[in-house]
Protein backbone atom coordinates (compact mmCIF):
# COMPACT_ATOMS: atom_id res chain seq x y z
CA UNK A 1 0.00 0.00 0.00
CA UNK A 2 1.38 3.41 -1.02
CA UNK A 3 1.09 6.32 1.42
CA UNK A 4 1.98 9.97 1.01
CA UNK A 5 2.38 12.14 4.10
CA UNK A 6 1.66 15.87 4.15
CA UNK A 7 3.47 17.76 6.94
CA UNK A 8 4.57 21.32 7.71
CA UNK A 9 6.81 21.39 10.78
CA UNK A 10 9.17 19.37 12.90
CA UNK A 11 7.91 16.06 11.55
CA UNK A 12 7.65 14.08 14.78
CA UNK A 13 4.43 12.40 13.61
CA UNK A 14 5.95 11.87 10.16
CA UNK A 15 8.96 10.19 11.81
CA UNK A 16 6.74 8.02 14.01
CA UNK A 17 4.77 6.79 11.01
CA UNK A 18 7.94 6.12 9.00
CA UNK A 19 9.63 4.31 11.89
CA UNK A 20 6.59 2.16 12.62
CA UNK A 21 5.37 1.39 9.11
CA UNK A 22 4.27 -2.11 8.35
CA UNK A 23 2.01 -3.09 5.53
CA UNK A 24 2.49 0.28 3.83
CA UNK A 25 5.27 2.27 2.17
CA UNK A 26 5.72 6.01 2.62
CA UNK A 27 6.48 7.01 -0.96
CA UNK A 28 6.70 10.80 -0.56
CA UNK A 29 6.47 13.81 1.71
CA UNK A 30 4.51 16.83 0.52
CA UNK A 31 5.39 19.97 2.46
CA UNK A 32 4.08 23.52 2.17
CA UNK A 33 6.99 25.15 4.01
CA UNK A 34 10.67 25.40 3.26
CA UNK A 35 13.52 24.84 5.71
CA UNK A 36 11.54 22.80 8.24
CA UNK A 37 12.81 19.73 10.07
CA UNK A 38 10.34 17.31 8.46
CA UNK A 39 12.15 17.82 5.14
CA UNK A 40 15.46 16.79 6.75
CA UNK A 41 13.76 13.74 8.26
CA UNK A 42 12.39 12.70 4.87
CA UNK A 43 15.73 13.14 3.12
CA UNK A 44 17.47 11.13 5.84
CA UNK A 45 14.90 8.34 5.37
CA UNK A 46 15.36 8.40 1.58
CA UNK A 47 11.82 9.62 0.99
CA UNK A 48 11.29 12.09 -1.88
CA UNK A 49 10.07 15.58 -0.96
CA UNK A 50 7.64 17.69 -2.99
CA UNK A 51 6.86 21.32 -2.30
CA UNK A 52 3.19 22.27 -2.09
CA UNK A 53 3.20 25.55 -4.01
CA UNK A 54 0.34 28.04 -4.13
CA UNK A 55 -0.01 27.58 -7.90
CA UNK A 56 -0.92 23.91 -7.52
CA UNK A 57 1.91 22.48 -9.66
CA UNK A 58 2.36 19.78 -7.00
CA UNK A 59 -0.99 18.22 -7.89
CA UNK A 60 0.39 16.65 -11.07
CA UNK A 61 3.14 14.97 -9.01
CA UNK A 62 0.55 13.71 -6.55
CA UNK A 63 -1.48 12.31 -9.43
CA UNK A 64 1.57 10.54 -10.91
CA UNK A 65 2.42 8.94 -7.57
CA UNK A 66 -1.16 7.66 -7.23
CA UNK A 67 -1.17 6.98 -3.49
CA UNK A 68 -3.61 4.64 -1.82
CA UNK A 69 -3.83 7.01 1.16
CA UNK A 70 -2.75 10.49 2.15
CA UNK A 71 -1.96 11.09 5.82
CA UNK A 72 -1.86 14.62 7.19
CA UNK A 73 0.73 14.78 9.96
CA UNK A 74 0.97 18.28 11.37
CA UNK A 75 0.05 19.74 8.01
CA UNK A 76 -0.77 23.42 8.41
CA UNK A 77 -2.71 23.93 5.24
CA UNK A 78 -6.07 23.21 3.72
CA UNK A 79 -6.21 20.33 1.27
CA UNK A 80 -7.85 21.72 -1.88
CA UNK A 81 -11.35 20.49 -2.62
CA UNK A 82 -10.34 18.92 -5.94
CA UNK A 83 -7.72 16.79 -4.12
CA UNK A 84 -10.25 15.76 -1.46
CA UNK A 85 -12.68 14.84 -4.26
CA UNK A 86 -9.95 12.88 -6.10
CA UNK A 87 -9.15 10.79 -2.99
CA UNK A 88 -12.52 10.31 -1.27
CA UNK A 89 -12.29 8.62 2.14
CA UNK A 90 -8.56 8.17 1.59
CA UNK A 91 -7.20 11.29 3.31
CA UNK A 92 -6.80 11.06 7.10
CA UNK A 93 -5.87 13.64 9.70
CA UNK A 94 -5.12 13.61 13.40
CA UNK A 95 -6.43 16.60 15.37
CA UNK A 96 -5.32 17.51 18.92
CA UNK A 97 -8.78 17.73 20.47
CA UNK A 98 -11.86 15.63 20.94
CA UNK A 99 -13.76 16.68 17.84
CA UNK A 100 -16.12 18.33 17.25
CA UNK A 101 -14.80 20.53 20.08
CA UNK A 102 -12.01 23.02 19.40
CA UNK A 103 -11.95 22.61 15.66
CA UNK A 104 -11.87 24.69 12.53
CA UNK A 105 -9.77 27.58 11.32
CA UNK A 106 -7.13 28.64 13.82
CA UNK A 107 -7.44 25.55 16.02
CA UNK A 108 -4.11 23.80 15.73
CA UNK A 109 -1.21 23.05 18.05
CA UNK A 110 -0.92 25.22 21.13
CA UNK A 111 -4.03 27.21 20.15
CA UNK A 112 -6.17 24.11 20.74
CA UNK A 113 -4.62 23.31 24.12
CA UNK A 114 -4.93 26.90 25.31
CA UNK A 115 -8.62 26.95 24.31
CA UNK A 116 -9.25 23.65 26.12
CA UNK A 117 -7.73 25.08 29.32
CA UNK A 118 -9.55 28.41 29.01
CA UNK A 119 -12.86 26.54 28.60
CA UNK A 120 -12.25 24.63 31.84
CA UNK A 121 -12.52 21.21 30.19
CA UNK A 122 -11.90 18.16 32.39
CA UNK A 123 -10.62 16.04 29.51
CA UNK A 124 -9.05 16.51 26.13
CA UNK A 125 -7.39 14.19 23.66
CA UNK A 126 -7.06 13.64 19.96
CA UNK A 127 -9.21 12.56 17.06
CA UNK A 128 -8.38 10.60 13.93
CA UNK A 129 -10.78 11.62 11.17
CA UNK A 130 -11.33 11.54 7.45
CA UNK A 131 -10.72 14.76 5.56
CA UNK A 132 -13.72 16.22 3.76
CA UNK A 133 -14.48 19.64 2.29
CA UNK A 134 -14.59 21.35 5.70
CA UNK A 135 -11.98 22.01 8.35
CA UNK A 136 -11.92 19.18 10.92
CA UNK A 137 -15.45 18.14 9.93
CA UNK A 138 -14.81 14.69 8.43
CA UNK A 139 -16.07 11.41 9.79
CA UNK A 140 -14.46 10.50 13.11
CA UNK A 141 -12.59 7.19 12.99
CA UNK A 142 -11.10 7.06 16.51
CA UNK A 143 -10.51 9.18 19.60
CA UNK A 144 -8.24 8.91 22.61
CA UNK A 145 -8.94 10.86 25.81
CA UNK A 146 -6.52 12.30 28.35
CA UNK A 147 -7.30 14.06 31.63
CA UNK A 148 -6.89 17.81 32.03
CA UNK A 149 -5.32 18.75 35.37
CA UNK A 150 -5.84 22.07 37.19
CA UNK A 151 -2.11 22.82 37.03
CA UNK A 152 -1.85 22.15 33.28
CA UNK A 153 -0.32 24.63 30.88
CA UNK A 154 -0.79 24.44 27.11
CA UNK A 155 2.65 22.78 26.97
CA UNK A 156 1.95 20.08 29.58
CA UNK A 157 -1.43 19.30 28.05
CA UNK A 158 0.17 19.13 24.58
CA UNK A 159 2.72 16.59 25.86
CA UNK A 160 -0.04 14.38 27.24
CA UNK A 161 -2.10 14.60 24.04
CA UNK A 162 0.93 13.98 21.81
CA UNK A 163 1.83 10.87 23.82
CA UNK A 164 -1.43 9.21 22.70
CA UNK A 165 -1.76 10.94 19.32
CA UNK A 166 0.90 9.09 17.33
CA UNK A 167 -0.02 5.55 18.47
CA UNK A 168 -3.71 6.31 17.84
CA UNK A 169 -2.89 7.57 14.33
CA UNK A 170 -0.90 4.47 13.43
CA UNK A 171 -3.33 1.97 14.94
CA UNK A 172 -6.37 3.77 13.51
CA UNK A 173 -4.85 4.05 10.04
CA UNK A 174 -3.78 0.40 9.99
CA UNK A 175 -7.28 -0.64 11.03
CA UNK A 176 -8.98 1.69 8.55
CA UNK A 177 -6.64 0.61 5.76
CA UNK A 178 -7.36 -3.05 6.48
CA UNK A 179 -3.77 -3.76 7.48
CA UNK A 180 -3.31 -6.45 10.08
CA UNK A 181 -1.90 -4.86 13.23
CA UNK A 182 -0.43 -6.29 16.41
CA UNK A 183 -2.46 -5.89 19.56
SS3 string of the chain?
CEEEEEECCCCHHHHHHHHCCCCCEEEEEEECCCCCHHHHHHHHCCCCEEECCCCCCHHHHHHHHCCCEEEECCCCCCCCHHHHHHCCCCEEEEECCCCCCCCCCCCCHHHHHHHHHHCCCCEEEEEEEECCCCCCCCCEEEEEEEECCCCCCHHHHHHHHHHHHHHHHHHHHHHHCCCCCCC
Question: What is the set of active-site residues?
Answer: 95
Inter-helix orientation angle 12-19/37-44, to 10°:
20
Amino acid sequence: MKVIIFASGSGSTFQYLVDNRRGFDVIALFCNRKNVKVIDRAIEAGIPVYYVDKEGKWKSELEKLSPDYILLAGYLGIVPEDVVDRFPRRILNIHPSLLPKFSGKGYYGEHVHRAVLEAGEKESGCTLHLVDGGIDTGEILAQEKVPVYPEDTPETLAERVQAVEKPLYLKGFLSYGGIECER
